A and B are shown apart, each in its own frame.
Chain A
Amino acid sequence: MEEKILTSQFEPKIASFVCTWCTYTGADLAGTSRLKYEPNVRIIRLPCTGRIDYNLIIKAFENGADGILVSGCHPNDCHYSSGNFYARRRFIVFRELLQFIGIDVRRVQFAWVSAAEGAKWAKLVNKFTSEIKDLGQFTNYQKIKRDIFLEEAVI
């Protein structure tokens, strides 16, 4: 079903939801350390992974994301002490739900990236971008989105 567009010309859109205390700072470090990484990732900063509602993920898919990367503090490092533990449980369940519905969970990835791990962030983004390039455009989801402006009357 999913049409693969040649890897060379396909530039995936990846939305990344990160917590401000660890991963966002880590990504910042990657920048200040002049580490070069793939530009496909758009970072959305949130207070904590505990705040990352699954609806953000769905909305990103609806709006054309091909992959989603969620990242925050390592266990025991959460600024709010346990936000990431709740998030971890939530994602265990959410991944299974997506899989059950027929969404390839390789498109939704989770990571722990600390404020010191700029290099890990750069590597992760590069790896994930190339994985999404291999998976191709997420046409399944993009096809079902009703384009509210172009849509023709159904009947």
Chain B
Amino acid sequence: MKNFKIKNDYKNFVKGLLSLNYLVIAPKYENGILKFSKIKNAAEILSPSEYINTVSSTKEYFFPQTEPVIKFTFEGKEIFLKDVEIGKKPKVVLGLRPCDAASFSILDDIFQYEYKDEFYFTRREKTIIIGAACESNDESCFCTTTGLAPDSSQGADLFIEKNNEEEYFLRAVTEKGERLVEQLIAEVEELEEEPKKNPLYEKIEKQIRKKIDLIEAKKWLDNNFENEKWEELSSQCLSCGSCAYLCPTCHCFDIVDEVNYNSGVRRKNWDACQFDLFTLHSSGHNPRDTKAKRYRQRVMHKFKYYADRFDKTLCTGCGRCIRACPVNIDIYEVVKEFAPLVEQN
């Protein structure tokens, strides 16, 4: 795949994108938090060096907190169904860190497992993902454990990186990405040679929390569905759900009908395994009736069940759940409880 140099600065490149009539979504400070938001003009854009990561992930643009799936009206005894339209405008999501970009290759699997979720995939197909390598990290990041690195482009269509002369360039990762760059020829220029690696990325990789051996972790999980550790690890959890709501890979939802006297809508709303109501049956029975069982579900789903089914980890090491947890339940520390660190030379 080709590489392209950004001719002027990053902002001009974004200007070019906006002029192509894409809905551009990128990290932006809005009402006091850094969040992926719609960019109206290039001046609002933050360059990859200006942030570590956003508070919430980009999943809301593919799998929103609430989503109507079907609408209906009643007339007498008859019910009429009406399909829901999905936003049509092509989108570019820009500036995702490797841990967010990688979340798509993970979510794609579950959203077409046995049944293809059209809502997710319609949006997915209309969207181009432009990742950006990390130029800093914090104490929560642990992407190396999940097989990523500050400069891994997995899941992205295009990837922004700095070469060893501190100039930004674009790496085309997929055909889709390459086609987009070709439309931006005024802003970019194809590079003949593979750019030289900037040493910064290696340096950051070393600062990140040490890599845990997830193969060993899975072995432990395979044998320890019943273990008193689950109780111990989750006893102080407040069931606030922040961990799941902010996670780029958590994808549980709850289906709810909202009805008026003559019309209604069926919705998909986010759910979280730490909630007391999670998997509560209408009979009153709940197979996961304790915090320990729900926390076990969280860890098992991420590091065992998903690995069994798709050979992937349902975690990208973004650290959002760690930053957000009000009682400091740290998933990295939890996994480290039952697996060794990988020896590094």
Q: Do A149 and B86 touch across chains, with their CB atoms under 8 A apart?
A: no
Contact with B along A50-71 (1 / 0, CB 8 A): 0000000000000000000000
Across the interface, which residues of A come within 8 angstroms of B123, CB to CB? Answer: 155
Q: Do B85 and A149 touch across chains, with their CB atoms under 8 A apart?
A: no
Residue B73 is within 8 A (CB to CB) of chain A in the complex: yes
Contacting A at CB under 8 A, from B48-72, are 61, 64, 67-68, 71
Contact with B along A118-155 (1 / 0, CB 8 A): 00000000000000000000000000000011011111
Given contacts A153-B85, A153-B86, A153-B87, contact A148 B64 (CB under 8 A): no
Q: Do A149 and B67 touch across chains, with their CB atoms under 8 A apart?
A: no
Residue B84 is within 8 A (CB to CB) of chain A in the complex: yes
Contact with A along B77-89 (1 / 0, CB 8 A): 0000000111100
Given contacts A155-B87, A155-B123, contact A149 B64 (CB under 8 A): no
Residue B106 is within 8 A (CB to CB) of chain A in the complex: no
Given contacts A149-B71, A149-B73, contact A154 B258 (CB under 8 A): no
Contacting A at CB under 8 A, from B85-116, are 85-87, 91
How far is A151 from B68 in the complex, measured between Cα atoms in Å? 9
Q: Do B258 and A148 touch across chains, with their CB atoms under 8 A apart?
A: yes
How far is A153 from B66 in the complex, measured between Cα atoms in Å? 10
Closest to A63 in B: B260
Residue in B84, B91, B263, B264 whose beta carbon sits within 8 Å of that of A153 in the complex: B84
Residue in B61, B67, B86, B265 whose beta carbon sits within 8 Å of that of A148 in the complex: B265
Q: Do A149 and B263 touch across chains, with their CB atoms under 8 A apart?
A: yes
How far is A111 from B265 in the complex, measured between Cα atoms in Å? 38
Across the interface, which residues of B come within 8 angstroms of A154, CB to CB? Answer: 64, 87
For chain B, the bracket of interface size reads 10 to 19
A51 → B minimal CB distance (Å): 23
Across the interface, which residues of A come within 8 angstroms of B91, CB to CB? Answer: 155
Residue count of chain A within 8 Å CB distance of chain B: 7
Closest to B265 in A: A148
Contact with A along B248-272 (1 / 0, CB 8 A): 0000000000101001110000000
Q: Do B87 and A148 touch across chains, with their CB atoms under 8 A apart?
A: no
Given contacts A148-B258, A148-B260, contact A153 B67 (CB under 8 A): yes
How far is A149 from B85 in the complex, measured between Cα atoms in Å? 12
Across the interface, which residues of B come within 8 angstroms of A155, CB to CB? Answer: 61, 64, 87, 91, 123
Across the interface, which residues of A come within 8 angstroms of B87, CB to CB? Answer: 152-155
How far is A9 from B148 in the complex, measured between Cα atoms in Å? 65
Across the interface, which residues of A come within 8 angstroms of B71, CB to CB? Answer: 148-149
Across the interface, which residues of A come within 8 angstroms of B258, CB to CB? Answer: 148
How far is A149 from B265 in the complex, measured between Cα atoms in Å? 7
The 9 closest A-B pairs by CB, nearest first: A149-B263, A155-B87, A148-B265, A153-B86, A153-B87, A153-B85, A148-B258, A155-B61, A149-B71
A-B contact pairs, 21 of them (CB 8 A): A148-B68, A148-B71, A148-B258, A148-B260, A148-B263, A148-B264, A148-B265, A149-B71, A149-B73, A149-B260, A149-B263, A149-B265, A151-B68, A151-B265, A153-B67, A153-B68, A153-B85, A153-B87, A155-B61, A155-B91, A155-B123
On B, residues with C-beta under 8 Å from A are 61, 64, 67-68, 71, 73, 84-87, 91, 123, 258, 260, 263-265
Given contact pairs A148-B68, A152-B87, A153-B84, a sample of 11 additional A-B residue pairs in the complex whose CB atoms are under 8 Å apart: A148-B264, A148-B265, A149-B260, A149-B263, A149-B264, A151-B265, A153-B67, A153-B68, A153-B86, A155-B91, A155-B123
